[in-house]
Amino acid sequence: MRTDSSPGTLPAREHLPAAGAGTPVLDVVIPVHNEEKDLRPCVRRLHEHLRRTFPYAFRITIADNASTDGTPQVAGELAERIAEVRAVRLEQKGRGRALRTVWEDSDAPVLAYMDVDLSTDLNALLPLVAPLISGHSDLAIGSRLSRSARVVRGAKREFISRAYNLILRGSLQARFSDAQCGFKAIRRDVARVLLPLVEDSGWFFDTELLVLAERAGLRIHEVPVDWVDDPDSTVHIVRTATDDLKGVWRVGTALATGSLPLDRLARPFGDDPRDRDIEDVPQGLARQLLGFCVVGILSTLCYLLLYSGFRAFTGSQTANGLALLVSAVANTAANRRLTFGVRGRAGAVRHQAQGLVVFGIGLALTSGSLAALNTAGGDPAHATELAVLVAANLAATVLRFLLFRAWVFPDGAEGTTAAHTPAVPAPHTPAVPAPRTPSDPADHDPRDFR
């Protein structure tokens, strides 16, 4: 898995500024391999649609990756006949490799791609890229699994698509709904930061890109699409599924081991309202409380199980101390990572030491409760002991959260990693040509759209 650092943090999102004609705003890439039959009608149809409906300058790039049929000749002919079309030839096969090559070289501020079969209705293209132009979102995907999508395809492909997305949700905690739809877009400044982290060069490329973007805290916009299955698709389902599962394992392992520098990309823009210092509004309090409650419930269950185990061969005070010590170490580690968002090993020993001080306070509360119970009841039942301990732990938990938030992890969750990331100047945002008006039909050679 690639662990090399990205080119730098990202500037705040802004609406791409309108300027004079020149650089295209949108570069639509069509990756192809042996598609001489479908390429010509696809490009002409897409060009006509963009010419009629897209209000900015655009480009269509044919990314031919190692075709062995007449695809290169068709691509070259289209590039000669239509001014907004260019052709790029790669000598190695791989959809991801083709997209990476074109996107890294493109000067357009918004980059997109679609499959050559045009299974997705082109009316979704403008809604796909509009949030990227406005600065609202960082990536955009077409979704065939959205409730308002209209999809015509066989049961086999439907099952495979839904099963794959369930795997992504279960193994990589992905929240986007459709990873495989060949209809996606990304801002160029975001692509330049994320692409160095993406390793796959085949069909898993865009899934890996989406997973890393989501884990980095970037915003992914989803557009319901109208989609009709292409019965002549040349995609090898079994081979693609196998490669995708290998990719899921590789990315999952990299995320679990922390070998990806995603902490540098977390909240990269600095325009998240949760990052703002607003008077009398504690930062991230609701999210921290939720995470702390979840960790606390699991820690309490762990503590009670340990206490019951230790109590079988030792006294109540010793069993309480041992159980609380083990659960306190685990509780501090879990809250450090999950509740307060502290990554890396820096300060871990100090946090554990402070956590043990908090543990001592909890120990005093619970031990005092047990001592009071034994003084009052003589030989209380085990169930009574557990009930008293639960009540004492609730009081200790409230105090623990306040001490964790104010003393152990005073920087809070969201800003901990960002605070240590040096600011970098925002790179120059390419000027975007002013909206273009549809050309007069007389300006175009009618032979171009036969």
Cβ-based neighbour number of residue 167 at 10 Å = 16
Query: 243-247 — which CB contacts under 8 Å span 24+ positions?
Result: 243/202, 243/203, 243/204, 244/164, 244/203, 244/204, 244/207, 245/167, 246/204, 247/200, 247/204, 247/207, 247/208
Distance CA 274, CA 265 (A): 16
Q: How many residues would you count in the chain?
A: 450
Q: Let me know if 60 is exposed, middle or buried by CB neighbors in 10 A (0-12, 13-18, 19+).
A: buried
* Per-residue tokens: 349: 């020993």
CA proximity to 408, closest of 338, 366, 364, 347 = 347
Distance CA 323, CA 332 (A): 14
> Strands across the sheet with 139-143, in order?
85-90, 58-65, 26-32, 110-114, 183-187, 139-143, 220-224
Q: Check 27, 189, 206, 263 and give the catalytic one.
A: 206
Distance CA 126, CA 64 (A): 25
Is 206 an active-site residue?
A: yes
DSSP readout, 219-275? Answer: -EEEEE-EEE--TT----HHHHHHHHHHHHHHHHHHHHHT-S-GGGTSS-SS--GGG
- Report yes or no: 305 and 326 within 8 Å, Cβ to Cβ: no
**DSSP-derived secondary structure letter, 406:** I
Query: 343-347 — which CB contacts under 8 Å span 24+ positions?
Result: 343/258, 343/263, 343/416, 343/417, 344/258, 344/263
Query: 103-106 — which CB contacts under 8 Å span 24+ positions?
Result: 103/27, 103/29, 103/186, 103/188, 103/191, 103/195, 104/191, 104/192, 104/195, 106/27, 106/59, 106/61, 106/188
Spell out the residues 6+ positions from residue 32 whose beta carbon is closer than 8 angstroms to its own.
Answer: 39, 62, 63, 64, 65, 67, 71, 75, 116
Burial profile 282-300: b = 16 or more Cβ within 10 angstroms, e = fewer: ebbeeebeebbeebbeebb
Which amino acids are annotated catalytic? 206
